[in-house]
Amino acid sequence: MAAVEPSGAPPAPLAVVDPQFCAPHVVALTVTKKAISLTDGDFTVTDANGAVVLRVKGTLFSVRHRRVLLDAAGLPILSMQEKVFSMHNRWEVFRGDSSNASDLLFSVKKSSIIQLMKTEMDVFLAGNTAEQVCDFKIKGSYFDRSCVFYLGNSNTMIAQMNRKFTVSNVLLGKDTFGVTVFPQVDYVFIAALVVILDDVHRDKSRHD
């Protein structure tokens, strides 16, 4: 998927986690995942200059998959955990290292149970308890690492993801992809969605 210039971006900061993570310009991130990790799903997120801005740690030996997103200093920003016995692979995301309902920020689930080559996920903010209409949507193909993030059911793009190949990462067994976050969009929110996408995809691969 070719890179797309921002169009129809929200005029005001679209802050899901915190307004401080909404930049007035495009934010280009590189997400690198280790192919083999003792903590099951370690990610490093770097900016355009190669500086680490986020890290993600996971748990391997657990009934419920859980991830913690940390800032560059190692402080927890979000915790993400899979809801047990969820047919739609629902994940819930909480502020900090919490798992209390009062700290719930948003949840993510598959739009439909059966998804073959295509990826479609619905994102609901914590206040959207009825979940009749999603607040954000992800469409594309995670298998190809090519997905677009939309505002609700609209055609307003807020971010997109594409696979990145480098010789060193291939040799080191790392999966690397670029994430373009449009202006005034919470880049930590987008990074969390990318991590959840990866986990849902890994679950599908294991079950297949």
Looking up tokens 């679950």 gives 203
d(CA 28, CA 178): 7
- How much of the chain is in helix, strand and coil states, percent to nearest 5? 15, 40, 45
**What are the DSSP calls for 158-184, one per residue?**
EEEEEE---HHHHHTTEEEEEEEEPTT
105 contact partners, CB below 8 Å, separation of at least 6: 16, 17, 78, 93, 94, 95, 125, 126
State in Å, rounded, how far the first CA of the chain is from the last one. 26
Q: Which amino acid is at 113?
A: I
Q: pTM for the full model? A: 0.85
Show the tokens assigned to 9: 């971006």
- CATH superfamily, region 22-207: LURP1-related (2.40.160.200)
> Which tokens go with 28?
């280009």
In a structure prediction context, what are the per-residue pLDDT tens digits for the chain, which is 208 residues long?
455 555 555 567 899 999 999 999 999 999 888 765 554 458 899 999 999 999 998 765 455 678 899 999 999 999 999 887 666 679 999 999 999 999 999 999 988 766 566 889 999 999 999 999 999 999 998 777 789 999 998 999 999 998 765 555 555 556 788 999 999 999 999 999 998 988 877 654 444 4
Domain ranges of the chain: 22-207
CA 103/CA 5 separation, integer angstroms: 34
